[in-house]
Amino acid sequence: KAGVTQTPRYLIKTRGQQVTLSCSPISGHRSVSWYQQTPGQGLQFLFEYFSETQRNKGNFPGRFSGRQFSNSRSEMNVSTLELGDSALYLCASSFQRPSTDTQYFGPGTRLTVL
Amino acid sequence: AQSVSQHNHHVILSEAASLELGCNYSYGGTVNLFWYVQYPGQHLQLLLKYFSGDPLVKGIKGFEAEFIKSKFSFNLRKPSVQWSDTAEYFCAVTVNTGFQKLVFGTGTRLLVSP
Protein backbone atom coordinates (compact mmCIF):
# COMPACT_ATOMS: atom_id res chain seq x y z
CA LYS A 1 0.00 0.00 0.00
CA ALA A 2 1.37 3.39 -0.91
CA GLY A 3 1.91 5.78 1.94
CA VAL A 4 0.75 9.33 2.40
CA THR A 5 2.15 11.57 -0.28
CA GLN A 6 2.53 15.32 -0.17
CA THR A 7 3.35 17.75 -2.94
CA PRO A 8 5.36 19.78 -3.38
CA ARG A 9 8.11 18.76 -1.00
CA TYR A 10 9.70 22.20 -0.91
CA LEU A 11 8.34 25.68 -1.53
CA ILE A 12 9.85 29.12 -1.34
CA LYS A 13 7.46 32.05 -1.31
CA THR A 14 7.61 35.71 -0.41
CA ARG A 15 5.53 37.58 2.12
CA GLY A 16 2.04 38.39 0.94
CA GLN A 17 1.82 35.52 -1.52
CA GLN A 18 -0.47 32.56 -1.12
CA VAL A 19 0.34 28.86 -1.32
CA THR A 20 -1.54 25.60 -1.82
CA LEU A 21 -0.24 22.30 -0.51
CA SER A 22 -1.58 18.91 -1.51
CA CYS A 23 -1.95 15.62 0.33
CA SER A 24 -2.98 12.21 -0.95
CA PRO A 25 -3.94 9.83 1.86
CA ILE A 26 -3.45 6.11 2.03
CA SER A 27 -6.00 4.33 -0.10
CA GLY A 28 -9.16 3.69 1.92
CA HIS A 29 -8.40 6.34 4.50
CA ARG A 30 -11.09 8.98 4.75
CA SER A 31 -9.72 11.23 7.48
CA VAL A 32 -6.96 13.70 6.68
CA SER A 33 -5.34 15.93 9.26
CA TRP A 34 -2.87 18.75 8.80
CA TYR A 35 -0.15 19.82 11.25
CA GLN A 36 2.40 22.59 11.31
CA GLN A 37 5.82 21.68 12.68
CA THR A 38 8.25 24.38 13.79
CA PRO A 39 11.32 24.21 16.04
CA GLY A 40 9.75 26.57 18.55
CA GLN A 41 6.16 25.32 18.69
CA GLY A 42 6.57 21.66 17.80
CA LEU A 43 3.63 19.99 16.08
CA GLN A 44 0.47 22.05 16.07
CA PHE A 45 -2.86 20.80 14.78
CA LEU A 46 -4.36 22.81 11.92
CA PHE A 47 -7.51 20.97 10.89
CA GLU A 48 -9.02 17.59 10.11
CA TYR A 49 -11.29 16.59 7.26
CA PHE A 50 -13.57 13.63 6.88
CA SER A 51 -15.86 12.96 3.93
CA GLU A 52 -15.19 16.41 2.46
CA THR A 53 -16.18 18.16 5.70
CA GLN A 54 -13.96 19.98 8.13
CA ARG A 55 -14.58 18.13 11.34
CA ASN A 56 -12.08 19.86 13.63
CA LYS A 57 -10.00 23.01 13.56
CA GLY A 58 -7.02 24.17 15.55
CA ASN A 59 -6.14 27.66 16.73
CA PHE A 60 -4.81 29.16 13.53
CA PRO A 61 -5.93 32.35 11.82
CA GLY A 62 -8.41 32.32 8.97
CA ARG A 63 -5.54 32.68 6.50
CA PHE A 64 -5.14 28.94 6.89
CA SER A 65 -7.84 26.98 5.13
CA GLY A 66 -8.30 23.58 3.63
CA ARG A 67 -10.61 21.31 1.77
CA GLN A 68 -11.07 17.67 0.96
CA PHE A 69 -12.22 16.14 -2.27
CA SER A 70 -14.47 13.17 -2.88
CA ASN A 71 -11.43 10.90 -3.38
CA SER A 72 -10.20 11.97 0.12
CA ARG A 73 -7.30 13.97 -1.27
CA SER A 74 -6.86 17.19 0.62
CA GLU A 75 -5.39 20.60 0.04
CA MET A 76 -4.49 23.34 2.42
CA ASN A 77 -4.11 26.95 1.48
CA VAL A 78 -2.31 29.75 3.24
CA SER A 79 -3.07 33.26 2.05
CA THR A 80 -1.12 36.45 2.69
CA LEU A 81 1.96 34.60 3.81
CA GLU A 82 3.95 35.86 6.77
CA LEU A 83 7.53 35.09 7.74
CA GLY A 84 6.25 33.10 10.70
CA ASP A 85 4.46 30.69 8.38
CA SER A 86 7.80 29.12 7.48
CA ALA A 87 7.45 25.57 8.71
CA LEU A 88 7.14 21.93 7.80
CA TYR A 89 3.51 21.15 7.02
CA LEU A 90 2.58 17.57 7.69
CA CYS A 91 -0.42 15.68 6.48
CA ALA A 92 -1.64 12.54 8.19
CA SER A 93 -4.32 10.10 7.19
CA SER A 94 -6.32 7.62 9.19
CA PHE A 95 -9.14 5.25 8.41
CA GLN A 96 -11.94 7.19 10.06
CA ARG A 97 -11.14 8.68 13.46
CA PRO A 98 -7.75 10.13 14.47
CA SER A 99 -8.62 9.49 18.09
CA THR A 100 -8.89 5.74 17.65
CA ASP A 101 -7.21 4.87 14.36
CA THR A 102 -3.49 5.11 13.78
CA GLN A 103 -2.47 8.26 11.94
CA TYR A 104 0.08 7.79 9.17
CA PHE A 105 2.16 10.81 8.27
CA GLY A 106 3.50 12.01 4.97
CA PRO A 107 6.98 13.42 4.43
CA GLY A 108 5.78 17.00 4.71
CA THR A 109 6.07 20.13 2.64
CA ARG A 110 8.85 22.48 3.71
CA LEU A 111 7.60 26.04 3.24
CA THR A 112 10.03 28.91 3.42
CA VAL A 113 8.66 32.44 3.41
CA LEU A 114 11.15 35.18 2.53
CA ALA B 1 -7.39 22.10 27.30
CA GLN B 2 -5.36 19.01 26.69
CA SER B 3 -1.61 19.34 26.93
CA VAL B 4 1.31 16.97 26.74
CA SER B 5 4.62 17.54 28.50
CA GLN B 6 7.90 15.98 27.58
CA HIS B 7 10.38 17.11 30.18
CA ASN B 8 13.56 15.97 28.47
CA HIS B 9 14.23 18.10 25.41
CA HIS B 10 17.64 16.65 24.64
CA VAL B 11 19.05 13.32 25.76
CA ILE B 12 22.52 12.00 25.00
CA LEU B 13 23.31 8.36 25.66
CA SER B 14 26.01 5.89 24.80
CA GLU B 15 25.15 2.73 22.94
CA ALA B 16 23.80 -0.04 25.21
CA ALA B 17 22.58 2.46 27.80
CA SER B 18 18.99 2.24 28.95
CA LEU B 19 16.49 4.85 27.88
CA GLU B 20 13.48 6.33 29.57
CA LEU B 21 11.69 9.35 28.11
CA GLY B 22 9.03 11.00 30.19
CA CYS B 23 5.57 11.98 28.96
CA ASN B 24 2.79 13.48 31.06
CA TYR B 25 -0.59 14.63 29.86
CA SER B 26 -3.33 16.73 31.35
CA TYR B 27 -6.79 15.36 30.76
CA GLY B 28 -8.99 13.58 33.22
CA GLY B 29 -11.05 11.51 30.83
CA THR B 30 -10.34 8.49 28.69
CA VAL B 31 -7.31 9.02 26.50
CA ASN B 32 -5.46 7.24 23.76
CA LEU B 33 -1.69 7.54 23.92
CA PHE B 34 0.94 7.35 21.23
CA TRP B 35 4.68 7.59 20.76
CA TYR B 36 5.93 8.66 17.37
CA VAL B 37 9.51 8.79 16.17
CA GLN B 38 11.08 10.96 13.51
CA TYR B 39 14.42 9.68 12.27
CA PRO B 40 16.64 12.23 10.54
CA GLY B 41 15.21 12.99 7.13
CA GLN B 42 12.31 10.59 7.50
CA HIS B 43 8.56 10.68 8.12
CA LEU B 44 7.00 10.62 11.52
CA GLN B 45 6.20 7.01 12.24
CA LEU B 46 4.30 5.26 14.98
CA LEU B 47 6.38 3.49 17.62
CA LEU B 48 3.55 2.24 19.79
CA LYS B 49 0.10 3.11 21.04
CA TYR B 50 -2.15 2.47 24.00
CA PHE B 51 -5.92 2.44 23.79
CA SER B 52 -6.94 0.08 26.59
CA GLY B 53 -5.98 -3.18 28.29
CA ASP B 54 -2.50 -4.07 29.49
CA PRO B 55 -0.85 -0.79 30.49
CA LEU B 56 2.54 -2.06 29.37
CA VAL B 57 2.63 -1.86 25.60
CA LYS B 58 5.35 -3.07 23.30
CA GLY B 59 6.19 -1.37 20.05
CA ILE B 60 8.61 -1.69 17.22
CA LYS B 61 12.39 -1.88 17.54
CA GLY B 62 12.34 -3.03 21.15
CA PHE B 63 10.55 -0.01 22.56
CA GLU B 64 7.91 -0.25 25.24
CA ALA B 65 5.82 2.21 27.21
CA GLU B 66 3.89 2.03 30.43
CA PHE B 67 0.62 3.84 31.01
CA ILE B 68 0.22 4.89 34.64
CA LYS B 69 -3.23 6.41 34.93
CA SER B 70 -2.75 7.75 38.46
CA LYS B 71 0.30 9.69 37.33
CA PHE B 72 -1.09 10.76 33.94
CA SER B 73 2.10 9.37 32.44
CA PHE B 74 3.10 7.31 29.45
CA ASN B 75 6.87 6.93 29.60
CA LEU B 76 8.84 5.36 26.79
CA ARG B 77 11.58 2.86 27.57
CA LYS B 78 14.20 0.78 25.83
CA PRO B 79 16.62 -1.43 27.76
CA SER B 80 19.59 -0.94 25.42
CA VAL B 81 19.76 1.80 22.81
CA GLN B 82 21.59 1.64 19.52
CA TRP B 83 23.17 4.35 17.41
CA SER B 84 20.28 3.91 14.98
CA ASP B 85 17.83 5.08 17.67
CA THR B 86 19.11 8.62 17.20
CA ALA B 87 15.93 10.51 16.39
CA GLU B 88 13.30 12.84 17.77
CA TYR B 89 10.57 11.22 19.84
CA PHE B 90 7.09 12.65 20.26
CA CYS B 91 4.44 11.69 22.74
CA ALA B 92 0.85 12.39 21.67
CA VAL B 93 -2.62 12.09 23.12
CA THR B 94 -6.12 11.98 21.75
CA VAL B 95 -9.31 12.13 23.69
CA ASN B 96 -11.60 9.19 23.05
CA THR B 97 -14.59 11.35 22.37
CA GLY B 98 -15.61 13.81 19.70
CA PHE B 99 -12.61 16.03 19.11
CA GLN B 100 -10.46 14.35 16.55
CA LYS B 101 -6.92 15.54 16.85
CA LEU B 102 -3.57 14.48 18.17
CA VAL B 103 -2.03 16.76 20.76
CA PHE B 104 1.73 16.40 20.62
CA GLY B 105 4.41 17.03 23.17
CA THR B 106 7.31 19.23 22.15
CA GLY B 107 9.53 16.27 21.41
CA THR B 108 12.76 14.84 22.80
CA ARG B 109 15.88 14.73 20.67
CA LEU B 110 17.86 11.59 21.42
CA LEU B 111 21.47 11.31 20.36
CA VAL B 112 23.11 7.93 20.79
CA SER B 113 26.87 7.96 20.52
CA PRO B 114 28.58 4.82 19.24
For B34-86, the pLDDT digits (tens) are: 999 999 989 899 999 999 899 999 999 999 999 999 999 999 999 999 999 99
At residue A42, the pLDDT reads 87
With bands split at pLDDT 50, 70 and 90, how would you rate the model's confidence at B98?
Answer: low
Q: Residue A27's CB: how many other CB atoms inside 10 A?
A: 10
Q: In this predicted structure, what is the pLDDT of residue B76? A: 97
For chain A, the average pLDDT equals: 94
Q: Is A93 exposed, middle or buried (0-12, 13-18, 19+ CB in 10 A)?
A: buried
Q: How confident is the model at residue A113 (pLDDT cuts 50, 70, 90)?
A: very high
- Residue B35 CB-density burial (10 A; 0-12 exposed, 13-18 middle, 19+ buried): buried
The share of chain B scoring above pLDDT 70, in percent, equals 95
Chain A neighbors of B94, CB-CB under 8 A:
98-100
Contacts of A33 in chain B (CB under 8 A): 100-102
Q: Do B101 and A45 touch (CB under 8 A)?
A: yes
Which range has the worst mean pLDDT, A20-24, A40-44, B74-78, B107-111? A40-44
**Nearest chain B Cα distance for residue A6, angstroms:** 11
Q: Tell me what the pLDDT averaged over chain B comes to.
A: 91
The whole-angstrom separation of Cα B74 and Cα B94 is 13
What is the mean predicted confidence (pLDDT) over A3-30? Answer: 97
- The answer, for A34 touching chain B at a CB cutoff of 8 Å, is no
The pLDDT value recorded for residue A40 is 81
**Closest partner CB to A105 (pick from B43, B94, B100):** B43
Pick A62 or A102 by higher pLDDT: A62
Which whole number is the average pLDDT over B89-105?
A: 81
Task: Extract the runs of DSSP E, i.e. beta strands, from chain A.
Answer: 5-7, 10-13, 19-24, 31-38, 42-50, 53-57, 64-68, 74-78, 87-94, 104-105, 109-113
CB spacing of B32 vs A106 below 8 angstroms? no
Interface residue A105 vs chain B (CB under 8 A): yes
**Chain B CB contacts of A97 below 8 Å:** 100
Q: Model confidence over A78-98: pLDDT tens digits?
A: 999 999 999 999 999 999 887
Q: Say whether B106 and A56 touch across the interface (CB within 8 A).
A: no
